[in-house]
Structure 1
Amino acid sequence: MDEVEVVVAHSERATLRVGEMFLKVDGDPAHADVEIRAMGMVPVPTPEILWHEAPVLAIAALPGQALGVLGEPSPATPAAWTAAGGVIRTLHDAPLPPWPGQRLEDMAAELDRECAWLLEHAVLPAEVIHRNREIAEAALRPWTPSFIHGDLQLTHVFVDGEEVTGIIDWSEAAPGDAMYDLAILTLGHEECLDDLLAGYGSGADRDVIRAWWSLRSLVVARWLSEHGFDPDAPGCEFDVLRARMEDG
């Protein structure tokens, strides 16, 4: 019998690996519905769906390894990052999904709310929060929507050598800002941005990507803390925020 490996587990969802199969358990059935629909639409490699019986979605494991893990150096080559950029561009150029994405005004309200929480609990120096709040403003502008993954973390993009073998975890897929995907993938790995954009091509806005680094790190800090993760671990969200202070 294959061993059961807990990949991630918190109060909202859990992912288990059993042999060459991943079991995703989610209390909100809408997440699996979006994931299944998105994987059926996107023109990029995704894992095979083995079966779905709410609240469990079973998918096949992808060959290769993830681009990396937040807080650790990426094991992937520059060529792999460039290949990832090309695949993401193909996604962003695809026809939009028919369901709505996040509204700009909701994102702005969330940023205000989370910055207030960070200041109230003094988890970072106030000047770090204020400076990153200023930087984040550049992300809060109207954009032409693209088909975005919505949670394009390093651990969600798999490569084998210089080939992208698949992208997992599509439950946040929606129309949205293409720069958001690029920012989430390079969060904490700024040194890989040039290679990623070499494959992505024209149209990327580095200032907006940096703004999303700040916004994402600010708004996710409370959720991470409340779900057993540490945003203050080396190389993670709080280090991303502190690095912005060095940018001048």
Structure 2
Amino acid sequence: MNKVEVVVAHSERTTLRVGDMFLKVDADPERLDAEAEAMSLVPVPTPPILWRKPSVLAIAAVPGTALGRLGEPSTASPAAWAAAGKAIRTLHDAPLPTRHGRGPDELAADLDAECAWLVANDVLPADLVTRNREIAELALRPWTPVFTHGDLQIAHVFVDGDQVTGIIDWSEAARGDAHFDLATLTLGHEDCLTDVLVGYGTDVDLDAIRAWWSLRSLLGVRWLVEHGFDPTAPGCEVDVLRARM
């Protein structure tokens, strides 16, 4: 008999694995609609959708293994990281989706609020927040929008050997900054950025990627704490912020 495995669970959404099927249960059905739509449009490998109901999306398991995990060393080869970069370039070169992600003005307002909360509640030292806030400013410049995954964590890219077999979790897919996807993939694995760019190409702004490392981490700490995750674990968001000092 198959067992039910809880892959991730919090108040917004839960993902369960039953055999070779994943069930995504979401409090916001529009996120599932957006995910299914994005998977039907992107020119990169995605898991097959098995069926849909208003708050549940069933997808097939992707062959291979995740490129890695945040806070853990990646065992994937440089060629696998390069293959991920090539897949991301293919995505970014695709026709734009209709959905828009957060723009610089909205992100700036969110960043101000999160930095104020981090300092007011003594979650992080003020100098650490201030330094990373300064670095993050560069990510708030105007950008040319591309088709972005929107949550391209290292655990969302699956590889088999040196080939990308699937990219999962498309609920945040939208028009956005290409550097955000590249920064999200390499968050906590900055040493792998060079390999990613072998596949992606070198026409990128490295300072913008570094800025997104700070911005994503600053924006993420409160959400992680409030949903039962630990951003202070080795190699995770707080360590990413400390590395900028």
* TM-score bucket (shorter structure): over 0.9
Secondary structure of the 1:235 match is: coil
- Whole-Å Cα distance in 1 between the matches of residues 131 and 145 of structure 2? 27
* Structure 1 residues without counterparts, runs of 5 or longer: none
In structure 2, the partner of 1:11 is 11
Secondary structure of the 1:214 match is: helix
In structure 2, the partner of 1:121 is 121
Secondary structure of the 1:52 match is: strand
Residues 1:198 and 2:198 aligned together: yes
Cα deviation 1:31-53 (Å, max 9, x = unaligned): 01000110000000000000001
Deviating beyond 3 angstroms after TM superposition, the runs of 4 or more aligned structure 1 residues are none
In structure 2, the partner of 1:152 is 152
- Whole-Å Cα distance in 2 between the matches of residues 80 and 239 of structure 1? 25
Residues 1:106 and 2:137 aligned together: no
In structure 2, the partner of 1:97 is 97
Q: Which amino acid aligns with 2:208?
A: V
Task: Please state how far the C-alpha of 1:123 moved relative to its aligned partner.
Answer: 1.4
Secondary structure of the 1:218 match is: helix
Task: Please state how far the C-alpha of 1:202 moved relative to its aligned partner.
Answer: 3.0
Q: Which amino acid aligns with 1:68?
A: G
Question: Given the two structures, how large is their TM-score scaled by the length of structure 1?
Answer: 0.98
Secondary structure of the 1:142 match is: coil
Secondary structure of the 2:244 match is: helix
Q: Which amino acid aligns with 2:72?
A: E
In structure 2, the partner of 1:241 is 241
Secondary structure of the 2:188 match is: coil
Q: Percent identity?
A: 71
In structure 2, the partner of 1:135 is 135
Task: Please state how far the C-alpha of 1:99 moved relative to its aligned partner.
Answer: 2.1
In structure 1, the partner of 2:212 is 212
- Whole-Å Cα distance in 1 between the matches of residues 202 and 224 of structure 2? 33
In structure 1, the partner of 2:52 is 52
Task: Please state how far the C-alpha of 1:184 moved relative to its aligned partner.
Answer: 0.3
Secondary structure of the 1:7 match is: strand
Cα deviation 1:156-190 (Å, max 9, x = unaligned): 00000000001000000000000000000000000
Q: Which amino acid aligns with 2:95?
A: P
Question: Given the two structures, how large is their TM-score scaled by the length of structure 2?
Answer: 0.99
In structure 2, the partner of 1:185 is 185
Task: Please state how far the C-alpha of 1:54 moved relative to its aligned partner.
Answer: 1.7
Residues 1:20 and 2:46 aligned together: no
Cα deviation 1:97-144 (Å, max 9, x = unaligned): 012221221100000000000000111111110000000001000000
- Whole-Å Cα distance in 1 between the matches of residues 72 and 52 of structure 2? 33
What is the number of residues matched between the two proteins? 245
Secondary structure of the 1:229 match is: coil
Task: Please state how far the C-alpha of 1:204 moved relative to its aligned partner.
Answer: 1.3
Aligned pairs for 1:76-91 (under 5 A) are 76-91=76-91
Secondary structure of the 2:98 match is: coil
Secondary structure of the 2:150 match is: coil
Secondary structure of the 2:31 match is: helix
- Whole-Å Cα distance in 1 between the matches of residues 221 and 189 of structure 2? 18
